[in-house]
Structure 1
Amino acid sequence: MNSKPTILLAFFFAVLLGCKSQNTGITYNSETLKIIPISKKSFIHVSYLQTDDFGKVACNGLIYMNEGEAVVFDTPVDIETSDELIDWITKTKKQSIKAVVINHFHDDCLGGVEAFHQLNIPSYANHKTIELAKREGNAIPQIGFDGKNELMLGKQKIINRHFGEAHTKDNIVSYIPSEHLLFGGCPVKSLNATKGYLGDANINEWSNTVNNIKIAYPDLKIVIPGHGDYGDVELLDYTISLFKTE
């Protein structure tokens, strides 16, 4: 029997498996925190919130790095996990954290914001988010804005904007033009997701709000939802259809 084809086949599978193991899509993983690279400068951070209605829920946030600095979008769910994330950014990646941006007033967005405040890292949020966080007794972001806020990270712009009510009345989205990336947070659903928690939602306006986001950013390539897998503009289309009212 000629062993050459067998050797070539074994080599092919070894390369295939080797490539797969090097591209697992996770750059950091612990029991409480997972970090997933989506570009050279952008990473999803995932932490886990224990809920009464939905059990243990994986919650997405974003890290954007540029020219030695980083901005974090939504904190991990608690202070301890936020400390873990901060250590990874500052010690492993050697980036200075310039700011943290909060999507809305729920714990899966700002549960660990005090970890950033303790290091004098400023937090930004919609004025409505600050009001609602105070009312709920949640941690309170420091710097409020109405409608729209822009941050610069090096020479790159970050646009934080309130398009209308959806998952909550205060929810914003964050857009990074240079990355063609939208951190949608909970106003945006992953493909095939259910409607989820609606206790603070405006289901009548949800589709309109997301449609306005789609119109404002026609060159989107990456869309990150508050929970579940990231994707592209298809996530906006799915969310619009999910909450479409006749």
Structure 2
Amino acid sequence: MQAANAQHKSEEAPLKISHLAGNCYVYTTTGQLSDGSRYPSNSMYVVTQKGVVMIDVPWDTTQLAPLLDHIKKQHGKAVIACIATHFHDDRTAGLDALAARGIKTYSTAHTLKLCKDNHNEQARYIIPEDTTFRLGDRQLQVFYPGPGHAPDNIVVWVPEDKVLYGGCFVKSTDATNLGNLSDADPKAWTPSMLRVKAKFPNPAFTVPGHGEMSNKDKACDHTLELIQTYNAGKNK
């Protein structure tokens, strides 16, 4: 991937924006874990003829305004929508600020309920668990595979660019474990992942919620390996 412009190339930059493929761009910010440590988080935006659609939010909410400014300057288009892929705050913090700017925010009903239950920010509009946004020259296909990292995690497929946004449902190829399992269902995760692989079998790139991007299906396959290792250890 190539950085969208020079100011985002530094590894220390609070906001890193990289062109992934076609009209898809990944943005990475760093959020704070419960133990106080800092951890990078990936999200994505897609440039369409109708406007720009964000998939998830910057975990570091101070970078939301710089992100919106960059998108407007770089692409000459405004952000028109944001899709939250599950209820955790690395995917929902900032939804209120987006709505206040007149940007439509979307989630499934399952995510909305979990946001309410956990006092996280909530999307204003509900979408079916399986639906397609058609925005001129681009489609965004939302798919709920079943529980995995979280009970409500969805993935998004951009068919024109063959990009699969897995979010936290998918682990990066440099991940050594499944990470935060506080709301995970490791037993259901394998069949859920197999549904994603069957539904979108030939991605050019896969975007995990954290860590390095992956070409083809390597991140999904690596996630399956991590799940199997975890479940084998639990069954001993």
Mapped partners of 2:150, 2:92: distance in 1: 14
Does residue 124 of structure 1 match 2:126? no
Aligned residues: 224
Counterpart among 7, 13, 33 of residue 15 in structure 2: 33
Deviation at 1:45, TM superposition (A): 0.5
Deviates more, 1:201-210 or 1:65-74: 65-74
Name the larger-Rg structure: 1
Structure 1 length as normaliser, TM-score?
0.86
Structure 2 length as normaliser, TM-score?
0.89
Deviation at 1:195, TM superposition (A): 1.1
Structure 2 match to 1:243 = 227
Where in structure 2 are the equivalents of 1:101-112 lying within 5 Å? 101-112=83-94
Letter in 2 for 1:203: P
Structural RMSD (CA): 1.7
Counterpart among 72, 75, 92 of residue 90 in structure 1: 72
Structure 1 match to 2:156 = 174
Find runs of 4+ consecutive structure 1 residues off by over 4 angstroms.
none
Deviation at 1:187, TM superposition (A): 0.5
Mapped partners of 2:36, 2:188: distance in 1: 24
Deviations 1:75-95 (A, max 9, x none): 112443111111111233211
Kept in 1, the 8 Å contact 2:3–2:18? The answer is: yes
Distance 1:147 1:91, change over 3 A: same
Kept in 1, the 8 Å contact 2:52–2:79? The answer is: yes
Does residue 234 of structure 1 match 2:234? no
Does residue 140 of structure 1 match 2:125? no
Mapped partners of 2:134, 2:209: distance in 1: 23
Deviation at 1:67, TM superposition (A): 2.3
Unaligned regions of 5+ residues in structure 2, if any? none
Deviations 1:79-126 (A, max 9, x none): 431111111112332112121011101111111112211111111111
Letter in 2 for 1:243: I
Letter in 2 for 1:71: V
Kept in 1, the 8 Å contact 2:2–2:18? The answer is: no
Deviates more, 1:176-185 or 1:83-92: 83-92
DSSP 3-state at the match of 1:205: helix
Counterpart among 174, 178, 183 of residue 200 in structure 1: 183
Does residue 222 of structure 1 match 2:234? no
Where in structure 2 are the equivalents of 1:65-76 lying within 5 Å? 65-67=47-49, 69-76=51-58
Identity fraction in percent: 26
Unaligned regions of 5+ residues in structure 1, if any? 1-22
